[in-house]
Amino acid sequence: MRKAPFIRIPYTGPLPTPELYPRNANSTPGAIAALSKFLTAPPSPSLQNGVADPQSTVVLSGAGISVASGLADYRGTNGTYRQNKAYRPIYYHEFLASHEARKRYWARSFLGWTNLHKAKPNAAHYAVKDLGEMGIVRSVVTQNVDSFHSIAHPNLPTLELHGYLRALVCVSCHNELPRGVFQDSLAKLNPAWAAFLEEVIRSGALDTENPDERRAKGMKTNPDGDVDLPGAPYTTFRYPACPHCLANPPIAGDGTQTRVEVDGEGAWSATSTAGILKPAVIMFGESIPSKVKDTAEHAIDGSGRLLVLGTSLATYSAWRLAKRALERGMPIGILNLGGVRGEEAFFQKLPIGQTGEAGVRVEFPTDKILPKLVDQLRQAGFAKVADAGMANAADEQHANSKIFKDMLS
């Protein structure tokens, strides 16, 4: 019997229906007007002193913003936790401890990577880019591991709170390997699986995010490029060793020499004591590095308001940032389909009659509202930095874009 995990997955059931603020935010024009007011209002008088840019906004985003790109989410209407009650992500300690667990993980990831890799940022990501170019959004903290924010707005400082799927990292030497290189290695080590994947792609079985259609085609597509084939021979799957450790086996923490061994075709051998590659994401049960936590807090502390996009804040790492914003007196805006963890606390002290400047709660798809919001702001006179000031602005933007990199180095 498999032991029950010692870490509970939070909020897998529906969260309470949200109360909208202001009341007219229940319509598209009302929501856009409220968000426009929220983003352009003078700094809140309750904001703590010492904020670097009190007029600016920091964005905190989650899986909901990428649904329009064709990716599955966790807690939405068609989210994995709602549609697949038996699903749970692999735990970090399981991945490290079990060769068989890694086979299963990489087999499913091998099948799912194609769709994830070909997916692109959607209108919501590019609207965030526009808000950054208008000088309204100062930085982005995202829980997403799809890299869409970085692709859509490379010059807007973006912190990937939970890492990214575009690379692998070795748990022994900590070097990274591009996912494309790793995917090619998986295909060479598993020709039967590679042939099956080609057939699946030709059949269009991976082209739908409709849960019923997925089940009818014999597979379950979960977030972050995970494809489950019930009954598949996962134990036959093979994966490569870290090439750096294979060439130079590292010294272990206790001073002993590690072994990195592969079979005749280069697949990691269970006799090895190092050289395990993992996705460069924070897996469930894995701790977020202190530098990343500190950098996320720095992003909150440096701005005057927080805009939450496409997330239920179910994970503590995200919720604590919203809580920090609340404690610092920052107005909070939420654009999310469905309830948000503890959201009633964010709007308890809204002034009577406020129209969005002190807080906004909107329930619409991000890709439908944000582009229209950008259009309205442009009509109101907000635009990119004037050409005359582009040189200085570009220098400042470049300096700002290095904030997260410098703090994480």
Domains and CATH numbers, the chain: 23-68+122-162+288-408 (3.40.50.1220), 79-120+165-281 (no CATH)
**Quick check: 362 and 347 in contact, CB under 8 A?**
no
User: Is pLDDT above 80 for 53?
Assistant: yes
More confident residue, 115 or 262: 262
Q: Model confidence over 323-375: pLDDT tens digits?
A: 999 999 999 999 999 999 999 999 999 999 999 999 999 999 999 999 999 99
Q: Is the pLDDT of residue 395 over 50?
A: no
Cα–Cα distance for residue pair 245/235, rounded to 1 Å: 24
Per-residue model confidence as pLDDT tens digits over 189-200:
999 999 999 988
| Residue 9, marked binder | no
- Residue 15: the pLDDT is 83
**What is the mean pLDDT of the segment spanning 268-274?**
98
Task: Quote the pTM value.
Answer: 0.89
Tally the residues of the chain: 409
Rounded Cα distance, 218 and 91, in Å: 25
Asked if residue 217 belongs to a known ligand binding site, the reply is no
Question: Which residues face 360 on adjacent strands?
Answer: 333
Q: Do the beta carbons of residue 204 and residue 221 sit within 8 Å?
A: no
139 marked ligand binding residue: no
Radius of gyration of the chain (CA): 23
- Annotated binding residue 161: no
Cβ atoms within 10 Å, residue 239: 23
DSSP annotation string for 150-179: HHH-TTS-EEETTEEEEEEEETTT--EEEH
Kindly tell me the number of DSSP H helices and DSSP E strands found in the chain.
14, 11
**Which is catalytic among the residues 162, 174, 298, 398?**
162
Q: How far apart are the C-alpha atoms of 56 and 51, rounded to whole Å?
A: 10
Q: Are 189 and 240 in contact (CB under 8 A)?
A: yes
Distance CA 226, CA 327 (A): 37
Is 162 marked active-site? yes
CA–CA separation, 11 and 341 (whole Å): 8
Give the percent of the chain with pLDDT over 70.
82
